[in-house]
Structure 1
Amino acid sequence: MVSDDPLMIYINGFLSPYEIDYLMDMAQEKVYYNRTASRAFVVPNPDPVGQCITARAEKISGFLPWAIFEELQVVRYTPGERHDMHKDNMDRPFPHEGIGDRCNRLLSFFVYIGDQCEGGETYFPHQLAAPDDSDTAKFGRTTKNSSRGLVVRPVAGNGLFWINLKKDWTTDERLKHASLPVTKGVKYGMNILGEGCY
């Protein structure tokens, strides 16, 4: 567990080696669309590997039975590309046909598919920094003596899970985050977003 308030969990081995290879093969063939200085594509539905990954995400978030998962989104960052500070949920609730009138992105997973890069960390400036004795292959710091700013390094197959909204369904501003620029190589990741309605 990275944090219990707000809830953030680091997951080792979220993707199997087969799933990583499958997604990387798919990533090489896809046409990407622009997305804040990165490129992205959606895993087609139904896709058996995509369904398996979504089912795993559903099990991890099992205490949130109302979560409706969006299509899996694979992102690619090349040198110099980044995703500026943002939140995953929407500013205003939206209707979800047949489910409810007030829905939003309740939870997020970001899973690293490819880690053949330098830079490209996921940065949460409002979270506590990783402890000095944390695994430096997985976590870093923005500055040596900083107590704030969680920096999560790309490790293929591993991921991070968090809840975007507070109990009153408002944005938890502490979960704003950015993808720092890739300095060398290519970073591949996957967004798994779960909506909830109230």
Structure 2
Amino acid sequence: MKGRAKSPKTKFGIPIVSFLCCLFFLAGFYISTLFSQDVPNLRSGSRILESVEEADRYDVMSQPHGETGDSYIQSIPFQVLSWKPRALYFPGFATAAQCQSIIKMAKSNLKPSTLALRKGETDESTKGTRTSSGTFISASEDNTGILEAVEQKISKVTMIPRTHGEAFNVLRYEVGQKYDSHYDAFNPAEYGPQKSQRVASFLLYLTSVEEGGETMFPFENGVKLGMGFDYKKCAGLKVKPQQGDGLLFYSVFPNGTIDQLSLHGSCPVIKGEKWVATKWIRDQEEEED
């Protein structure tokens, strides 16, 4: 009899509990929907990127600047390719039209590229080391203002004034042409006393190359350093030329010593044609010719 007296509670208890659970679920869902209306939609990576760009555009105010400063904030995207040597890659640094204009300026004045000879070297002993053709063009010779604009942008990313840069060395590499591994900095023990030192190099790729023509750093991260490396070999970290992209690397440490890992070269072009505008940057102002 006692068991039967409890049966009504068992019969109606489960439906009541289920109904209450459904009621609480619906209420919670409704409340969460109300609160979610004030939360920005961050479901896609592109939306996150857009919100960052909006913050840069509207929330970041430019600061009062000095006579030589800029009145606006500028963002120049880059990728660190290596810390040993210090090498940075700048996609879309110049437009296709700018690149084509620089090629047009240089095309009629190309001559076989030469080398700065070390003690004991001769033109004959170094024959075949550098087989490109090129010419030097300063921004003051360019009536279009394109080289000046590129120079200004280079000075921003290097934080070194334009006055420290040499004239652009515009180079053309045809099929089979290359530049064996070398240093842009001049070791006084090998080249004699120097008035100033090349501390950094900026390469602006004026064309894309179908195959070959990479800029290489064979000693990247200290690999093969001091092992009797074949300087004609195309090895190590390689940067493929893409029109309008830039490559910055430093040949000298902040303490003034040459970075042995900054050894670099240009791999032979296998298919296509390579055009590049090189800007060498020194630790002192360059004297105008």
Q: Same fold (TM over 0.5)?
A: yes
How many residues end up aligned between the 2 structures? Answer: 172
How far apart are residue 111 of structure 1 and its match?
A: 1.6
Please identify, of 75-84 and 119-128, the stretch whose mean Cα deviation from structure 2 is larger. Answer: 119-128
- Indicate the structure (1 or 2) with the bigger Cα radius of gyration: 2
How far apart are residue 155 of structure 1 and its match?
A: 0.5
One-letter amino acid of the structure 1 residue matched with residue 146 of structure 2: V
> How does 1:120-139 map onto structure 2 within 5 Å?
120-127=213-220
What corresponds to 1:43 in structure 2? 137
Q: Deviations over 1:90-147 (max 9, x none)?
A: 112522xxxxxxx20011111210124421111101115xxxxxxxxxxxx95xxxxx
What corresponds to 1:16 in structure 2? 95
2:253 to 162, 166, 186: 166
The answer to whether the 8 A contact 1:30-1:41 is kept is yes
2:171 to 60, 71, 75: 75
The answer to whether the 8 A contact 2:214-2:238 is kept is yes
In the alignment, the residues of structure 2 paired with residue 21 and residue 168 of structure 1 have an alpha-carbon distance, to the nearest angstrom, of 38
The answer to whether the 8 A contact 2:94-2:244 is kept is yes
Are positions 1:94 and 2:194 aligned together?
A: yes
Q: Aligned to 2:167, what secondary structure does the other structure show? A: coil
TM-score normalised over the length of structure 1? 0.79
Q: Aligned to 2:113, what secondary structure does the other structure show? A: strand
Q: Aligned to 2:197, what secondary structure does the other structure show? A: strand
How far apart are residue 22 of structure 1 and its match?
A: 0.5
Q: Which structure 1 segments of 5+ residues have no match?
A: 96-102, 129-140, 143-148
Q: Deviations over 1:30-84 (max 9, x none)?
A: 332333111111124412211111111111111x459700001111011111001
Task: Determine which structure has the larger strand proportion and give its number.
Answer: 1
TM-score normalised over the length of structure 2? 0.55
In the alignment, the residues of structure 1 paired with residue 258 and residue 267 of structure 2 have an alpha-carbon distance, to the nearest angstrom, of 22
Are positions 1:184 and 2:277 aligned together?
A: no
Q: Aligned to 1:94, what secondary structure does the other structure show? A: coil
The answer to whether the 8 A contact 2:136-2:169 is kept is yes
In the alignment, the residues of structure 2 paired with residue 183 and residue 106 of structure 1 have an alpha-carbon distance, to the nearest angstrom, of 31
Task: Determine which structure has the larger helix proportion and give its number.
Answer: 2
What corresponds to 1:60 in structure 2? 157
The answer to whether the 8 A contact 1:11-1:160 is kept is yes
Residues 17 and 122 (structure 1 numbering): CA distance in 2 closer, same or farther, change over 3 Å? same
| Superposed structure 1 runs of 4+ greater than 6 Å apart | none
User: Which structure has the higher relative contact order (CA within 8 Å, separation 6+)?
Assistant: 1
In the alignment, the residues of structure 1 paired with residue 149 and residue 163 of structure 2 have an alpha-carbon distance, to the nearest angstrom, of 16
The answer to whether the 8 A contact 1:67-1:106 is kept is no
In the alignment, the residues of structure 2 paired with residue 170 and residue 78 of structure 1 have an alpha-carbon distance, to the nearest angstrom, of 34
Identity over the aligned pairs, expressed in percent? 27
Q: Aligned to 1:42, what secondary structure does the other structure show? A: strand
What corresponds to 1:107 in structure 2? 200
How far apart are residue 5 of structure 1 and its match?
A: 4.1
In the alignment, the residues of structure 1 paired with residue 161 and residue 113 of structure 2 have an alpha-carbon distance, to the nearest angstrom, of 33
Residues 124 and 67 (structure 1 numbering): CA distance in 2 closer, same or farther, change over 3 Å? farther
